[in-house]
Structure 1
């Protein structure tokens, strides 16, 4: 708010502070008859990871505040810390691996291909590995194979999916005032410090998507519920395919919405909650593709009973959505524009006053700034919200296409009987 399978050529080195001894191999010498890339081998929890020699190896036990970033080539060993120091603007995925010790013996072993999230998740009796990718699936799949991790898909029919938590009050996603978003959800302690001392009362959280850069060790249904109880409000952000990744706009926009709903429900965001698609800035040549994609995103969220929201640069998707008013594009219910002008309000010269006028805007007014409250420093983007959640329904789509932006229907109370809280 960015190669061929390696060859094993190990030499001995030690990595301290890991489960068991860790050996790191050196690079093999390339010859005219051996064009394969240089590699090294790292042994962790009795599994051998053969990685390109250019990758970083990060011992998370020794560096508990290290940011586990999937937009960088790296092998991370251990559990991500609850107080990761992550840059706010990290976006995207590439080939990277996180190997964590299993806290308890795995109930099921195997490798799950989570294609929408651009990752494999492999579990064995003593380890859990997340291997992300952008385009080179074969590289990370080869790393998992070399590590001796099970190639079969995990058996799920004997382990039904856990029941989603009870939905939060809709008030949890309504707010007028200052907020922030960070690449990884802060710890409970950090959120408590900021609730006491900061001017912010809303937080943007990255709930899923194949371009989500930072790991999310804190982001659970329990964390969300705890922060809601403490008085925090939320912007649930989903970072899926970006403009230059989209090949089938309608299908992929629909798939992204379905996946976002699944992630949202697992965290306690029920029907009616706004889900924000993060579409980073793009070339004008992608305008038509992006509008088709976002239209499909909105239609599918409405079908699922959710409210559609879109984040983008003021000069990219926001301008394009404004230009598409009155066309066949189905408009989102809420816009979240990135315009770093330093002004904490929802005004934007690119957006007419009659567009999204009824508590339907969020403004990211500054980015990549570090702030400290209560002794806790977080790298953030600054936001200003004016959001009251409309009720999204399929039959509303015709009025949105017409560009009239008729005032949405609001409810006085959500299903759990809690009245809307617009201003904290």
Structure 2
């Protein structure tokens, strides 16, 4: 663990961070207006999409994907689309994708009552109706996705409510997020056959899985509590990733497709609450490390204050909930800002740093040896590469883990 700060140093750090956040808020303008991306400008022409007796009215510009005809299509919520059917076992997804817009996945299901629940933190609706289950994502246009759901006769609440309670599952053993060795992360959790092939034919022993967040782009057909427990019993370990709000700087890798940090403390706290809930529903119990994914940004006074306020609130709230905090970021942005301001924030317990130098080690010249020194590091050392093991090809990022 990082060295504990004295109460006096923590109070001084809190005051400094508060001043930085206030300055950032003044620079940003009204809440929600800071560097927000424009709303989508779809054509007003519409079309009807029918599936298993249900008709959805959607903008004519949206892509319609028949998953029965295209089982390897990647189901993504960072582009306007309607996906019909069950996602294939081995989707051809990119190694990395982030962002959120209005999109729909309509899958076959057993007969069910018409019902809709919303997770406003993740900007996602879950709906059931006769013979279908719907996942509806939205970015900047919640009203649009509500209209699409209403067009199929699905009830939609007028205002965001609390997300539906997630089912309780037995927690995995405490070492589920501990591992030393080679790992990889992929945009969507692979199928069981793919995981088995890679377990038997690759040198990897840990996998990064994207458990939630409003900027998580890829759908997670396989990521269930049963899937996680099966992988654990077969020897896999995990680093759970949560793609929440992103830095709002120009030139950032997430760009205008991601919802930005505008109210750091409130949004960081909400992200921690949601991450913990999603993790618990998958079997990651208290003590597990939950990594907040913050994509690369250009550091500056305003954006740095926003990021530090957000990750500080995320870490503090996770600690209160009994979880450990992890943070993913580039060595030249998030990691550099955390190091430079370490006296003013509560550092995440584990750092997952990105430097694509091809070197499988958790040491890095930019990170002082005294920080995250006790098995508290992951190095993403190769990004956006494709590998084949046991006849199964997956687009991944490579990681070296030293997490105890």
Deviations 1:36-92 (CA, angstroms, capped at 9, x unpaired): 622222222222222222221100011111110111111100111221111011111
- Residue 349 (structure 1) aligned with residue 392 (structure 2): no
Q: Which of 203, 210, 213 lines up with 1:209 in the alignment?
A: 213
Where does 1:40-119 land on structure 2 (aligned, <5 Å)?
40-102=47-109, 104-106=110-112, 108-119=113-124
1:161 CA drift (Å): 5.0
Q: CA RMSD in A?
A: 1.9
Distance 2:278 2:346 in 1: 23
Between the aligned partners of 1:255 and 1:46, the Cα distance in structure 2 is: 37
Q: CA deviation at 1:172?
A: 1.7
- Structure 2 residue 231 is the aligned partner of structure 1 residue 224: no
Match for residue 4 of structure 2? none
Distance 2:351 2:237 in 1: 17
Q: Paired residue for 2:327? A: 310
Task: Report how far residue 174 of structure 1 moved.
Answer: 0.9
Matched position secondary structure for 2:96: coil
Gaps of 5+ in 1: 7-35, 389-424
Q: Give how far 1:238 is off.
A: 0.6
**Aligned position for 1:258:** 273
* Matched pairs, number: 350
Q: Distance in 1 between matches of 2:62 and 2:114?
A: 27
Asked whether the 8 Å contact 2:246–2:294 carries over to 1, the reply is yes
Listed one character per residue, the Cα deviations across residues 277-328 of structure 1 (whole Å, up to 9, x for unaligned) are 001112323100100110000001111111110001111111110111122x
Query: How much has 1:152 moved relative to structure 2?
Result: 4.9
Do structure 1's residue 238 and structure 2's residue 242 form an aligned pair? yes
Give the secondary structure class of the aligned counterpart of 2:333.
Answer: helix
Residues 370, 379 of structure 1: 8 Å contact kept: yes
C-alpha separation between the residues in 2 aligned to 1:312 and 1:198? 26
Aligned to 2:13: none
- Per the alignment, residue 144 of structure 1 pairs with 149
Q: 1:151 offset after TM fit, Å?
A: 2.6
Of 281-290 and 266-275, deviating more is 281-290
Name which one, 1 or 2, has greater alpha-carbon Rg: 1
Structure-2 separation of matches of 1:93 and 1:192: 31
Matches within 5 A, 1:248-327: 248-285=263-300, 286-327=303-344
Give SS of 2:398's match: strand
Determine whether 1:122 maps to 2:127. Answer: yes
Q: Greater RCO between the two (CA within 8 Å, min separation 6)?
A: 2
Change (3 A) 1:190 1:4: closer
CA distance in 2, matches of 1:163, 1:383: 31
Cα distance change of structure 1 residues 148 and 162 upon mapping to structure 2, 3 Å threshold: closer
Q: How many Å separate the matches in 1 of 2:144 and 2:366? A: 43
Distance (Å, rounded) in 2 between the aligned partners of 1:331 and 1:257: 15
Paired position in structure 2 for 1:391: none
Check conservation: 2:166, 2:277, Cα contact below 8 A.
no
| Alignment partner, residue 415 of structure 1 | none
d(CA) in 1 for partners of 2:165 and 2:268?
Answer: 25
Of 166, 171, 174, the residue aligned with 2:170 is: 166
Task: Report the CA distance between 1:162 and its aligned residue.
Answer: 6.5
Q: CA deviation at 1:383?
A: 0.3
SS in 1 for 2:334: helix
> Given the two structures, how large is their TM-score scaled by the length of structure 2?
0.83
Contact 1:124 1:150 (C-alpha < 8 Å) held by counterparts: no
SS in 2 for 1:315: coil
Provide, for residues 147-186 of structure 1, a one-character-per-residue CA deviation record: whole Å limited to 9, x for no partner: 2222359xx9xxx956522211122211111100000000
SS at the partner of 1:199? coil
| Partner SS for 1:207 | strand
Query: Where does residue 367 of structure 1 map in the other structure?
Result: 383
| In structure 2, distance between residues paired with 1:194 and 1:75 | 31
For residue 131 of structure 1, report the CA deviation from its aligned partner. Answer: 1.4
Q: Secondary structure at the match of 1:165?
A: coil
SS at match of 2:223: coil
Change (3 A) 1:161 1:74: closer
Determine if contact 1:5/1:142 at 8 Å carries over to the other structure: no
